[in-house]
Amino acid sequence: MAQGGRVVTHVVTGCAGFVGAALVRRLLADGSEVVGVDNLDDAYDVRMKEHRLEELLPLSPFCFVRENVCSPGLEEALRRAIGGGCVDTVFHLAARTGVRQSVEAPRSYVDSNVLGTLNVLEVCRRLGIERLVLASTSSVYGIPAKLPCSEEVDTSRPLSPYAASKIAAEALCHTYHYVHGLSIVVLRYFTVYGPAGRPDMSIFRWVRNILEGEPITVYGDGTQRRAFTFVQDVVEGTVAAGRLSGYHVLNLGGERSVELWDVVRTIEAATGCRALIRHGPAQPGEIPVTSADCRRARELLGWQPRVTLEDGLRATAAWYRENRHWAANIALGGS
C-alpha cells in the first residue's frame, strides 16, 4: 500500500505457491509493489504452480524472479528487481512442505527450509531489509501436552523432518532478530485449504476424487482432528503481521478442530456427491490433533478466522468445477 505517497515494495518468496500467490494478489490490491520469487520446483505437480503464476504475471506492479531461495544468486537477482528502491517486508513463504514426503526425502527439507531461510535472512541483512515474516507450521507442536496449542508450547520434540526443519528456521529467525535487529514475525499456519490449493493435501484430493467418482483414502481411523484454515483468512493475518515490529510468534488457525470424517461429509454436501472411501494405515509423523489458540493474533493483529469450513469447501469445490478441464489431470502426489 502507499505510505505517505510512497509505493511500498514487498518481496514474497514462494510466490507461485498456494498461500504465496494469494498473498501477492492481496498485496497488489493494497497498492503495493511486489517482487515474487519462486523456482517452480516439482515438489508437487508444477502445472499447478504455473497456473497460479500465469494469473499473477499480467498484474501490476508485479515483478517475477525465477530463483531458488538457496541460491547464492538470490541477492543479486533481488538487487536487479528492486533497482534503486527499498523493500519494506520480505514475506518468506518458500519452503518444502508435507509431513509424509519429508519422512521419505528429509535432506531436501533441510536444504529448502533451513539453508533457504538462512540465505534469505542473510540477503535481508546485506540489503538492509529490516522486516521479515516467516511462514511456519502447526506441525512444530508435535503432540502437545495441552490443547489448544498456544505459542508457548514446547516445540523441542518434532515428529517429522518437516517439523524439525521449520523449528530450525524459526530458531534462525530469532537469532537474526537478536544479533542483527531484524523485526521478524513467525506465523504458524494450521492446515490451510481453499481454491487452487496444494494437490498433495487431502482437501484438494478429496474434492477432486469425490467429484470425479474416484475413491478417496482415509489414513488411520479417520478420527484425526485438524484446525482447518481458509486461505484468505491466512492471507489477511499474514498481511497484518507485516506491520509488526520486534519479534513475535503467532498462530493462525481455524477456531474449531474438525474430525476428518466430518470433513468428508462436508465435502459430500458441498459437491452433492457421495465419497467412495478406502482405508490406509496411519502415516509416520502424522499428528493426531491440531488445535489453535489464536488469542495472541487477535490481540496483536485484530485477526480472527471468518470463513467457515462449509463456505470454504463450497468455494474450493466451485473452483475445481470451473477449472476441471485441466485440474482433473493434475498429479495428486503425497498419497
Q: CB atoms < 10 A from the CB of 104, how many?
A: 10
The amino acid present at 6, given as its one-letter code, is R
Main-chain dihedrals φ then ψ at residue 107, nearest 5 degrees: -60, -40
Q: Is 319 exposed, middle or buried (0-12, 13-18, 19+ CB in 10 A)?
A: middle
Residue 312 and residue 230 in contact, taking contact as beta carbons nearer than 8 Å: yes
Q: Which three cell numbers stand for residue 236?
A: 489477511
Q: Strand pairing of 33-38 and 258-259? A: unpaired
Q: Which of 44, 109, 141, 162 is catalytic?
A: 162
34, amino acid identity: V
Query: Residues near 46 by Cβ (< 8 Å), separated by ≥ 6?
Result: 40
Rounded to whole angstroms, the Cα distance separating 82 from 302 reads 31
Q: Where are the beta strands (DSSP E) in 98-246?
A: 131-137, 183-189, 192-193, 215-219, 225-226, 229-230
Backbone Cα Rg of the chain: 19
Give every CB contact of residue 51 below 8 A, 6+ residues apart in sequence. Answer: 196, 323, 326
Between CA 238 and CA 259 the distance in angstroms is: 26
3-state secondary structure 51-74: HHHHHHCCCCCEEEEECCCCCCCH
Catalytic, 162? Answer: yes
Cell numbers representing residue 293 in the block: 489458540
**What amino acid positions are annotated as catalytic residues?**
162
